[in-house]
Every structure is written in structure tokens, then in C-alpha cells.
Structure 1
């Protein structure tokens, strides 16, 4: 299956032969968020040529990393159990790469899939375990995400809903996630814009025990639970 042969007998070289081709690991990253149709994969990776996407999907399927599956009269691509074993690898790469991310270049985009995996990479389950359950609606550039933290569990998915705090931000969210910028400073400088919070209809319906006093609880959760190890 692999077009690249390093001529070495080892686990690392074999892994690179399977997912080391350009775009392959990004396809895996997006499928870790959930099954995708061909068009959805292409939209999430706008610079990938159609023939390369088709070739990578074929190669990854031949390797047993993903499979084609019928869903509601359409065909989607989804990871196999073997493919899902790549999740800790992708998360570790994301945390490592985040340290050298820097400012975005022109025409670089944020997709719901890429931000979802960045948040998973940065999540600190040990810190979150001691905090109240909290739900956020995050608008990061064009990506709209619903983020729920419940104990040591993190759930990130596209969309909006009833939340404790809704906020909008852009690529500078990396400064907040990394701990470079405190939440209060991020709000004061406009890096984060609070859209909805305590006193809105979306949060008044929440049981009081799940809403920390004022905004300190959600800010603490963002600062503590979504900071990658440096």
C-alpha cells in the first residue's frame, strides 16, 4: 500500500509508511472528530487536490485505517478501531505543534475539525475533574462549537445550545489556551468577546449548582482545563 519505503524494520518507520504521506494524518485528524462524506473532507481540507484526496482515502482504506460505510443513503468515511488508535498520537502531535504555532499566515483557516482536535489536545482532565460541569458555546472564526466539560470528560461538537457561557474569539485563542494570556486580560483586550453569560435566558435555566459565581468559574475552567503542558 505505501508508496514510501524507508528500508528499515521498525514500528516508527512502518507507521510513517502508512500515514506519513502528505495529507494522510490530517484526514485521520478530521475523521477522529466523526465520520465524514467525501465532500465534507474536501471542504475541511480546501487545499488538497481531488485526486490526492481520493488516493489517500484509498491507501488508508487498504491499510485498514478507515472504511467506507453507508449512512442514510450516503457513503461516509469512518475510522476503524485500528485507525482510532491513532488518536493519542494525533493529540500528542497537536500539543507539541501548538508550542510553535505562532500567528496565522494569510489565507490560513480555522475549521471546526481542527479546533476540536486542538481543544482535545489542550484539555487537562486532572484539572477539570475538580471543577463544576460547564457548557460553552465558542465561535472561533467561522467555526461554531459546543463544548461541554463534565468532570474529567470533554465533549466538543459543532453547533450551539444551552450553555453557561458563550464567547467569540479568533486565532489569538492560542494565547489563552497556552496560558500566555489570563482570561480577564483576554476579555479586557478583546481577544475574547463574551456573547452570553450569567443573566441571559440560556443560563437562567441552569441549576444554580452548575453555575459558579459570576464569570469566574467559566474563566477558571478555560484557563485551567484547556492549557497544554508546556
Structure 2
């Protein structure tokens, strides 16, 4: 860790020394969903070289962010989980997700969606204040090959691998669901354009979904090419 010191007596600099290496925060993102075996992490981050994954896990352990623990069942084996110190990154990851949402654009060829990445995406876009004023609702969301159960009760969200038990609304969508979450498309427009399809339940509940999962995109990034064209 000392070899990557920025030489700055600063909390930001210290944080970057701990989790600023490539892939480190995506490992933390997946571990925020729950403990994972090494193979689970590799499957969820399919482009990470095995030697880099091993190196990042070692560094995160040395920094007190991640620890290795025995599986909490009769099965033998080891899983990686966040320490209490590491779990303190949750608000940081959610804030980064909201900030990066504006710059996402359309997916590039080969971009993947995983159960863990979508779990954190829904946690990132969840608006607790809006949900608290709405009836409890269970959604089953199909995004690509990922199926998640989104249980919204008492203004709190619980996300679990699907299918959901007695969902109020079952919906399927591709990456275009981002346009609903951003408010770029209203619920009726999303249905009309085929961005979202309702497989079961009352389509009117999609408006409740859009109010519950929302990110104000805020100002778009200004890139050098944009400035040159202006």
C-alpha cells in the first residue's frame, strides 16, 4: 500500500490509496450485495484478469476493507466479505453510481449486466422518500438475463434474486430502462415505445415504479469535442 502513496495528508488521498486501483471499487460493489467466493467475483467481473483479481483482493485485505471468512454453512470453502470498515463505502458507491448515471449513455458492444450490478443499480436509484408515501409493492424486474425481486415496504427496499413471490408487477426491459429511471421517458411512453413490457400485473403500476426508482440526471458532462463544436 505504501508504494502507491500519493504523499498527501488528506482523506481523499488515503481513500484512493485503499480503493483507487482499477477494479477495486467494482469488487466492493459486488461485495455490498453479499459475500462472494473468488469464482463468483470472477464470473461477475468477467473481464478482470485472474492475477489482477487476486492482487486487488490481497490489497483490499491489507487495507482492512475485505476479509476472508469460512462459508457460513456446512460446505467447506472460503468467501470474501466486506469488513465493517469496508461497508462504510456503501454511501460512497451509491453516490458514485448516481453521479456516473448521467454519463452512461448507451451500452457499448460487449457491455454486460450482472445480477450484482443491477442490484446496486436499483439500490442507487431507490427514492426512499417517494416510496414512503406509496403503497407497499413487490416488483419482479427482468433486465436482460437478470431477474430480481424488488420488495418495497415501509419506504425501504429489499432486493433479492428473482423470481418474486406474488409480485404486483412483472416487467421486462433492456438497457433502455435507464430512460425511465432518468425521467426521460414517462411510464406510458415507455410502454408505448416498447422500452418496457409488462408481463403480469396492472400496467398503471409502472408509474409507481418510475416514482420509486428515479435519478435526476443533473448536468451532463462537457467533453472537449463538445467545446470544439460550440
TM exceeding 0.5 = yes
The list of structure 1 runs, each at least 4 consecutive aligned residues, that deviate by more than 4 angstroms after superposition, is none
Equivalents in 1 of 2:104, 2:203: separation in Å?
29
Aligned partner of residue 32 in structure 2, secondary structure: helix
The aligned counterpart of 2:193 is 189
The aligned counterpart of 2:203 is 215
- 1:135-179 CA distances to partner (integer Å, 9 max, x unpaired)? 011110111111011122011121212201111111111001111
Cα gap change, 1:118/1:3 in structure 2, threshold over 3 Å: closer, same or farther? farther
The aligned counterpart of 1:160 is 163
The aligned counterpart of 2:154 is 151
TM-score in terms of structure 2 length: 0.90
Deviation at 1:3, TM superposition (A): 4.0
Equivalent of 2:120 in 117, 121, 127: 117
Deviation at 1:131, TM superposition (A): 0.4
Aligned partner of residue 139 in structure 1, secondary structure: strand
Q: CA RMSD in A?
A: 1.1
Deviation at 1:220, TM superposition (A): 2.6
The aligned counterpart of 1:51 is 51
Structure 2: runs of 5 or more not aligned:
219-230
Query: Size of the alignment, in residue pairs?
Result: 213
The aligned counterpart of 2:224 is none
Equivalents in 1 of 2:160, 2:115: separation in Å?
8
- 1:196-221 CA distances to partner (integer Å, 9 max, x unpaired)? 11xxxxxxxxxxxxxxxx432x2232
Alignment of 1:224 with 2:198, yes or no, is no
Equivalents in 1 of 2:206, 2:199: separation in Å?
14
Aligned partner of residue 107 in structure 2, secondary structure: coil
Structure 1: runs of 5 or more not aligned:
198-213
Deviation at 1:185, TM superposition (A): 1.1
Cα gap change, 1:2/1:59 in structure 2, threshold over 3 Å: closer, same or farther? farther
The aligned counterpart of 1:180 is 184
TM-score in terms of structure 1 length: 0.90
